Amino acid sequence: MPHPMPPLSIRAYTATSALGRGLDAHADALLASRGGLEPNDFSSAPLDCWIGRVAGLEEEPLPPELAEWECRNNRLAWLALRQDGFIDAVRDARERYGASRVAVLLGTSTSSIGATEEGYRRLDHGRMPADLHRPVLHTPHSLAGFVATAFDLEGPCLTVATACSSSAKVFGNAERMIRLGLIDAAVVGGTDTLCDSVLFGFNSLELVSGEPCRPFDANRGGISIGEAAGFALLERVTEDTTGPMLIGYGEASDAHHMSTPHPEGLGADIALRDALARAGIEAGDVDYINLHGTASQKNDEVEAALVARSFPATTRASSTKGFTGHTLGAAGILEAAITLLAMRDGRIPGNLGATTPDPLCGPQMAWTSEQREVRIALSNSFGFGGNNACLAFAQVGEPA
Amino acid sequence: MSAALSVWVKGIGLWAPGAANWAAFCAVVGGREAPGDDARPVAEVLPPNERRRAPESVLLAAAAAGEAVRMSGLDAATLPCVFASAHGDQTITDYMCATLAGTPTELSPTKFHNSVHNAPVGYWTIATHCHASSSAVSGGETSFGAGLLEAATLAVADDQDVLLASYDIAGAGPLGEMTATTGPFAVALVLSPHADIGAVRLDITPAPGNSGSSPTGNAWLDGVAASNPSAQAIPLVHALALARSTALRVAAARELDIHVDVEVAP
């Protein structure tokens, strides 16, 4: 069992998804119970399903000096970085600590593979077409490489690609490096964009719902795929820290199956207990849990049972994938940002989409939004390959 | 200056074209044998059924990881693991992109779930019943150095032994031209934060700048090193194979190397 860790300050954070650009757009949509899913019109042969698409991305190319990195995924990353003063916060950290003391640690599941797919659709005599002859795009590391280049950062730079737990796990990478004094600050988060690989891939596994996804509904029919980007800037806590803090994280493996969770939620349970231990808290201290809640049959069954058996009725829990869709490698950071918003605004997001609760769900489930102080919160992220992560956040001064 | 991270190498595994395990590699490096023919990686840790069906990336990573863990004498079920790869399974990515361009609704579900970057570490944890943390990381062309820094950080931060495996397979199709990976290579290290008198110590410190790696002077080794991002491990494994204390730098990111002091036990 890990030891408690010193908390980290979240100096800045932001998110962009189907709910809009930046934090206030997300807070407004969550308050109004207004989801962002719409019928799928993505790709040349759209599947009959619903998606969570970021509006207007097609009209916002990267600036000329970053043109080598042009593709949908890096474009969305750049759009997200420009919200909520995030760029200024990173530049300020670079100024204070130096370029080699700031890390870029990002999660993604497919990075810029949409550009590779496009190249294959327009092959030129069997080769990548000239305009896509840019090796920096055709690698899983494209996103983190792009962000490090855009900010001219020279610290450790790593892409975590553990499918849907990716952009949650990077908080752990950052905490370890900061605690050991390797760096002073880290840009964490991630981006995933709609692409044929995930739409047709999840379709081939028969995991995609024909209607907007309904997490924890007894009649849920699978996931809705979305796209999103989000980022957070982590530093050590100082005397003048006022914002939210990362107080713990847990990571574990199911060791069960590549694409279905452990039937008793073993890995998810270990990740949860590790997060609580690092945070030095107990389940009863947790005010809110943003669930992984994909609306797939198995995930929700296992997670509902885990929450029902582990937490008191006073803990509130919900999935927000009914709002945004499952944003895959960006799910961890998007839901971390939504969790931090719940803390900022004292509002629990409702579990949009469910009309007939799965009887496995306990009294913790917040079916509609609730006004309530959130001092300590968790965010769950589980991925393919049985990869589980749980993040713990708190307001300054908590746990008391 | 004291090192940022000190770890002891408790196990080594390797697969290179012409040297299918660590002993064969040491024999070639020591001049006792010439590189042999290419052999299929033997991933003994996988159940026979999985071994037959496993994609090349999984076989390669599991073969090296299995050898390193066996040498360490540790139980794989308890070892947190970091699997690093610049490009993942390029054969599958090539298949995916080609199929999506032509007949997207015919995409193979098995190929899709094997296409995720964490497929090799996923199969590894399933085969070894490992419930510890597992991660799949990429650092582009500097994936080996980035993975080594991450694994050593994890070992020291959480005071536990950690398995690092770094692998890349040869490129395929139009994607292969972009990645310029021309041959497979994998290396695995079991790193311990605890002093071990029989083991080689690595003192690892981040160092600003990219100094570029110097050739070993051995044509076969330098050829392997140039063929594959994970083979940026060659200068380090060369030193380990010769059991020679030395200092070297491994690129870990844009404008960042890690300085590694290799201290061989007297």
Residue B146: which of A109, A121, A156 has the nearest Cβ?
Answer: A156
Residue in A26, A195, A292, A390 annotated catalytic: A292
Average pLDDT over residues B156-170: 98
The phi and psi torsions of A380 (rounded to 5 degrees) equal -95, 140
Question: A132 phi and psi, to 5 degrees?
Answer: -110, 15
**What is residue A341's predicted lDDT score, i.e. its pLDDT?**
98
Residue B37: predicted pLDDT: 87
Closest partner residue to A158 (CB to CB) among B105, B139, B178 is B139
Instruction: Give the model's pLDDT for residue B224.
Output: 97
Whether residue B72 is predicted with pLDDT greater than 80 in this model: the reply is: yes
Mean pLDDT of chain B: 96
What does the pLDDT look like over B206-257, one tens digit per residue? 999 999 888 889 999 999 999 999 999 999 999 999 999 999 999 999 999 9
pLDDT on residue A121 = 97
Contact A162 B136 (CB under 8 A): yes
CB interface of A with B, residues 156-185, below 8 Å: 156-163, 169, 172-173, 175-177, 179-182
Report the residue from B87, B119, B252 with minimal CB separation from A385.
B119
CA distance B72 to B192: 10
Structure tokens at B59: 């076989």
Residues of B in contact with A257 (CB under 8 A): 126
Taking an 8 Å cut-off on Cβ atoms, the answer to whether A181 and B253 are in contact is no
Which domains, and CATH codes, for chain B?
8-197 (3.40.47.10)
Question: Is-contact A229 A330, C-beta < 8 A?
Answer: yes
Cα–Cα dist B136/B158, whole Å = 18
- As for the ipTM of the complex, it is 0.98
| Active-site annotation holder among A164, A195, A213, A361 | A164
Cα of A75 to nearest chain B Cα, Å = 19
Outline where chain B has alpha helix (H): 22-29, 48-53, 56-72, 90-102, 109-115, 119-128, 143-157, 173-179, 219-227, 234-242
pLDDT tens, position by position, B119-150: 999 999 999 999 999 999 999 999 999 999 99
Among this protein's residues, is A361 annotated catalytic? Answer: no
A268 → chain B, closest CA residue: B131
Would you call B55 an interface residue with chain A, using a CB distance cutoff of 8 Å? Answer: no
Residue A97: CA atoms inside 13 Å, Cβ hemisphere, count? 24
Which residue carries 């200056």 as its tokens?
B1
Helix then strand count (H, E) for chain A reads 11, 16
Of B114, B126, B254, the CB nearest to A154: B254
**What tokens does B264 get?**
């061989």
Burial (CB count <10 Å: 0-12, 13-18, 19+), residue A313: exposed
Taking an 8 Å cut-off on Cβ atoms, the answer to whether A254 and B107 are in contact is: no
The reported pLDDT for the residue numbered A330 is 98
Q: What is the pLDDT of residue A170?
A: 98
Q: Is A292 a catalytic residue?
A: yes
Chain B residues within 8 A of A109 when measuring between CB atoms: 116-117
Percent of chain B with pLDDT over 90: 92
The residues in A 297-336 lying below 8 A from B, measured between CB atoms, are: none
CA distance A114 to chain B (A): 9
Instruction: Read off the pLDDT of residues B96-107 as tens digits, 9 standing for 90 and up.
Output: 999 999 999 999
Residue of B nearest to A249 (CA): B133
Q: Counting one residue from A and one from B, how many pairs have CB atoms under 8 Å apart?
A: 224
pLDDT in tens, A256-297: 998 889 999 999 999 999 999 999 999 999 999 999 999 999
A43 to chain B: which residues are within 8 Å by CB? 104
Per-residue confidence of chain A (400 residues) as pLDDT tens digits? 688 999 999 999 999 999 999 999 999 999 999 999 999 999 878 999 999 999 999 999 999 999 999 999 999 999 999 999 999 999 999 999 999 999 999 999 999 999 999 999 999 999 999 999 999 999 999 999 999 999 999 999 999 999 999 999 999 999 999 999 999 999 999 999 999 999 999 999 999 999 999 999 999 999 999 999 999 999 999 999 998 999 999 999 999 998 889 999 999 999 999 999 999 999 999 999 999 999 999 999 999 999 999 999 999 999 999 999 999 999 999 999 999 999 999 999 999 999 999 999 999 999 999 999 999 999 999 998 899 999 999 999 888 7
* Chain B residues 153-192 with CB within 8 Å of chain A: 153-154, 156-158, 174-175, 177-180
Query: CB contact, 8 Å: A34 with chain B?
Result: no
A164 assigned to active site: yes
The answer to whether B104 contacts chain A (CB < 8 Å) is yes
What DSSP string runs through B216-258? -S-HHHHHHHHH-GGGGGHHHHHHHHHT--EEEEEEEETTEEE
- Report chain A residues whose CB lies below 8 A from the CB of B126: 255-258, 386
The CA distance from B217 to A226, in Å, is 51
One-letter amino acid identity for A396? V
pTM of the model: 0.98
Contact A217, A295 (CB under 8 A): yes
Interface of B with A in 196-225 (CB under 8 A): 206, 208
**Amino acid letter, A150:** A
